[in-house]
Chains A and B, each alone.
Chain A
Amino acid sequence: MGNVKELFQQKLTALTIGTSIFQEDLEQQGVEVIQLDWQPAAGGNMALLKALDKLAMNERVQEANARAVEIMLSANPILVDIDAASKVIPGMTRYTILHSGPPITWERMCGPMQGAVIGALLYEGLAGNEEEAVALAGSGKITFAPCHEYGAVGPMAGIISASMPVHVVQNQTHGNFSYCTVNEGLGKVLRYGAFNEEVLTRLKWIAEELAPAMKAALALSGGIDLRSLIAQALHMGDECHNRNKAGSSLFVRLIAPYFLKADIPRDVAVRVLEFIQSNDHYFLNLSMPACKAAMDAAHGIPYSSIVTTMARNGVDFGIRVSGCPSDRWFTGPAQMIEGLLFPGFTASDANPDIGDSAITETMGIGGFAMGGAPAIVQFVGGTVEEAIAYSLQMYEITTGENPNYSIPNLDFRGAPTGIDICKVVQSGRLPIINTGMAHKKAGIGQVGAGLVSPPRECFNSALLALYECIEAEEVSGSNG
């Protein structure tokens, strides 16, 4: 009863869980009261609670998670090259089309993704017109696969085909590579499903003029430290998902001298640099593979309940978990984004959540770092206070804090990093993603921006699967 004796000498500080009716009376008596924002753990689902009981306090799970987060934090992503996907992405063939989100068949793809696939087939010369492209896409000859399973990430439709140039990022701490295309800008672009002549011409220009110039500049630079750029951009009001103004500016500042030093014709250098500097989102296609390089390194740690992927294909939302096999996706329906629509569009124009860009949130930036990006708040429809609150809430479901990526508004607290599915299921809090809204019809483009969360069932089914993995492991372990 030693603790009771101690209690009798202490000032009471109470947590109240459930009704708030006692809170006021306690406060009147001078007690500090913390009223929990409680909801039933796992929604009261017995199977989930059983898994939660097994995993949440399990030392091996905690150790594995600490390791996963340590890998994420120590990853050092460097932009080293740009080249055609087929040359750098292992397993990429002429008939491979990579797309965003979890696996999906041609038939189930949403409008913007189908449009982007058509565009890619036209771009690759595999089809001569739209009808041929549609026929080919549905013929079974094309291998559709998630970018994520090829070390790649792509915003929105996220389509990558063989000859498209991709940025190559190397995680120099752990040795793995990640890939992402060049951001085409806003408006009629492939990632929103547009495939007209203007789009195809731009893609060709990127491959034929931008990529070789960038390759030469990068070679001279010896590689661009993306972790350092992200850290600086976060201090300049970006969250590196929906706002990339600072990151893009920093990138131009770093790379421009190498365009002058490299043996690039002056008119080419001008066109390429003008293209980059005119696109506030250029850096998104660098922050995404930077995050991807760290997350892939943290995947495959037995027992770990850390989320290594959150991605959407416009129909399904999928997550992957470090301690489960890498081809194991846990999916649920992609949700509608809540936020602001550009003038002339209505909510019924929007496609459900799409793109691999939630890799930023998986790494602890994007929506998780919104508290440090006040300028984005109005764009997604909210207040600065709410943005800070979102960031604070994410500490509830994460395991670590990233000292490299600190949030000025939170007194430079490290970004909440390492989403733990146990914590998500227990607290009922879902990751918050700060994202763009695509038009549901191919080729129209962005219609707005806002906030969205993954469907809860992704985390529920992941928890049950991890529980089964661990049970199986322990059975075989005890037999052997």
Chain B
Amino acid sequence: MGAQVQVLVKKNSYHDSVTLMALSGKVTALSQVQEAVVAMATDMNKELLQSVGMLTAEAASCGANDLVIAIKAASLEACTEGIKAAEEMLVKRKTGKKTDAPRPATIRSAVKETPAANIAIISVPGEHAAREAREALQNGLHVLLFSDNVSIEDEKMLKELAHSHGLLMMGPDCGTAIINHVGLCFANKVRHGNIGIVGASGTGLQEITVLIDRFGSGVSQVIGTGGRDLSEQIGGIMMLDALDALGQDELTEVIVLVSKPPAKSVAEKILDRAKEIEKPVVVCFINGDTAQIEAAGAYAAHSLEDAAWQAVQLAKKEQPLTANQDDATPILAAATKAKLQAGQKYVRGLYCGGTLCDEAQNIVKRSVGTVYSNIAKQEVYRLPDPQESREHTFIDLGDDTFTVGRPHPMIEPSLRLARLVQEAKDPEVAVILLDIVLGYGAHSDPAGVILPAILEARKLAAAEGRYLKMIAYVCGTGSDKQNKVEQEHKLATAGVTLAESNAAAARLAAAIVS
């Protein structure tokens, strides 16, 4: 029964963590292998090795540029096989590129070789990110900094540096932008148009652009700022610069700003600047106060959907009306209510998109009062154990608790399968809400990945005589590589109810349980 452990160390052999995570998974999947860790020997990974009893003295003495291949298996032969397989997979990637010229190792040498380079997309581990971003700015590149875990002091330093050079500093923790109609990182393929957007939230930007596309307009530029841009410390440096840039951009006629509610002084600064721009500005501070926005003469939107709707009307030179809440909701809700058992009272939202999760839970909260979440700001509403739901619960599966050592669920949606089945077993659950995020950067078939879990959830509920309502919103367009129509079709044939927007999905859920 005793498991054997074998560890191979490769000094000075750096590999990207996402690659290694995928590789660890593939090696673990080999028969006989019980556990496989293929990782750089960072302090965090060494802790991980320690916790699974695979930290040898040799591995412990390694540093962040050293690769560790650790295999736990029933026999030593199986360990050796596992290590061999891991090595082969690492090499395979390399030989595929063998005929290519060697790639530059530093930003400076890359810019020297390719003077046309104008933007750097940086996704290195947080502790190294600020340094690389600074080097990119110093070499005249605009930056999209995807990495998180960058200190607020570094963020400020970077944004001030970018500001003084007249460069974009999107991020840290920025996952979405569309520059010159090119989707960077996570972005959807949407129509070209005259609406320019600045946003501090990734899936918030995706949702607005997707809905603008659906309502028949398009975007000029979409600039991400990173989630902390509108904090007191940063003071909205990037949003102010982006606002100016869109103000001067001839192809932009309407501007949309989207963010979680900012610090009050920062909101003032932003709104003052918006006032100076002679273009209509729609502002969506998600779940924030609208009075301040209206007082500043901007158009206040109460949801992402509303922001898109107002922007589209303005883009067509119409006087904007706030989006109507869809009439079908009460009818659909009533039809569902009739099928539920008395004990089925709660909504469980399982989200890949952080802002989508945020928006949906706020909508449900307005109807039902209390909602628990792993990302709630207030301690009382935060789940003590994110693995266990209680009453109405909304889970952001992209949060760090779920993604340590694993890719984001938008890249690898299988993270959500077990949780979906777990929720279906709970007899108090009436509705399960899901988002399916499409576009560049996202998994090639997220609906297909979750389908087996949906079918199992239905079976489990049916076996216990319960009706379980599953509502999904597919955030994407028909032009996305995953094709929204096909993704929706897969869900619909599994009995999932589809919503027109993230807000609409949440409204339907709220109507069913209130």
Contacts and interface: CB of A to CB of B under 8 A. Distances in A.
B124 interface: yes
A29 interface: yes
B294 interface: no
Interface residues of A, number: 52
A16 B114 CA distance: 13
A27 to B, nearest CB: 11
Interface string A416-450: 00000001001111100000000000000000000
B65 A40 contact: yes
Contacts of A32: 114, 116
A40 B167 CA distance: 24
B185 A41 contact: no
B103 interface: yes
A78 to B, nearest CB: 35
B264 to A, nearest CB: 26
Contacts of B167: 3-4
Nearest to B43: A44
Q: Please indicate which of the listed interface residues A10, A40, A49 has the most CB atoms of chain B within 10 Å of its own CB.
A: A40
Contact of A396 (B98, B109, B125): B109
A21 B248 contact: no
A40 B180 contact: no
B182 A12 contact: yes
A429 B180 contact: no
Contacts of B180: 7-8, 10-12
A31 interface: yes
B249 A15 contact: no
Interface string B155-170: 0000000000111100
A25 interface: yes
B125 A36 contact: no
Interface SS of chain A: mixed
Contact of A43 (B19, B64, B101, B105): B64
B401 interface: no
Contacts of B121: 14-18, 22, 26
A36 B122 CA distance: 10
Given A8-B180, A31-B182, A44-B128, A456 B106 contact: no
Given A12-B118, A49-B131, A395-B109, A29 B182 contact: yes
A389 B97 CA distance: 12
A36 B104 contact: yes
A34 B107 CA distance: 10
Interface string B132-163: 10001010111000110000000000000000
B103 A22 contact: no
B124 A389 contact: no
Interface string A204-241: 00000000000000000000000000000000000000
Contacts of A13: 114, 116-119
A461 interface: no
Contacts of B106: 36, 38, 41, 396, 423, 426-427
B119 A41 contact: no
A30 B440 CA distance: 13
B386 interface: no
Interface in B396-433: 411
B249 A5 contact: yes
Contact of A17 (B14, B101, B124): B124
A1 interface: yes
A12 B179 contact: yes
B332 interface: no
Contacts of A29: 181-183, 440
Contacts of B336: none
Given A36-B107, A40-B65, A19 B18 contact: yes
Interface in B447-483: 481
Contacts of B98: 385
Contacts of B117: 13-15, 34
Interface in B11-41: 12, 14, 16-19
A44 B122 contact: no
A389 B104 CA distance: 11
B184 A22 contact: yes
A32 B118 CA distance: 11
A252 interface: no
A34 B118 CA distance: 11
A40 B168 contact: no
B248 A392 contact: no
Nearest to A20: B16
Contacts of A3: 140, 142, 165-167
B87 interface: no
B105 A428 contact: yes
Interface string B232-262: 0000000001001100110100000000000
Contact of B102 (A7, A19, A37, A41): A37
A140 interface: no
Contacts of B99: 385
A326 interface: no
B85 interface: no
A428 B12 contact: yes
B127 interface: yes
B123 A18 contact: yes
A14 B166 contact: no
Nearest to A25: B440
A17 B120 contact: yes
Contacts of A35: 103
A125 interface: no
B354 interface: no
A14 B124 contact: no
A238 B106 CA distance: 30
B206 interface: no
A1 B165 CA distance: 8
Nearest to A17: B122
Contacts of B183: 25, 29
A378 to B, nearest CB: 17
Nearest to B221: A8
Contacts of B182: 12, 26, 29-31
Contacts of B124: 17-18, 38, 40
B441 interface: yes
Interface of A: 1-5, 7-8, 10-22, 25-26, 28-32, 34-41, 43-44, 49, 57, 385, 389, 392-393, 395-396, 423, 426-430, 456
7 contacts: A2-B166, A12-B180, A17-B124, A17-B136, A25-B440, A26-B184, A428-B65
Given A3-B140, A29-B181, 4 more contacts: A4-B241, A7-B180, A19-B146, A37-B103
4 tightest A-B CB contacts, nearest first? A18-B123, A39-B14, A427-B105, A37-B103
Interface of B: 12, 14, 16-19, 63-65, 98-99, 101-107, 109-111, 113-114, 116-125, 127-128, 131-132, 136, 138, 140-142, 146-147, 165-168, 179-185, 221, 241, 244-245, 248-249, 251, 411, 440-441, 481
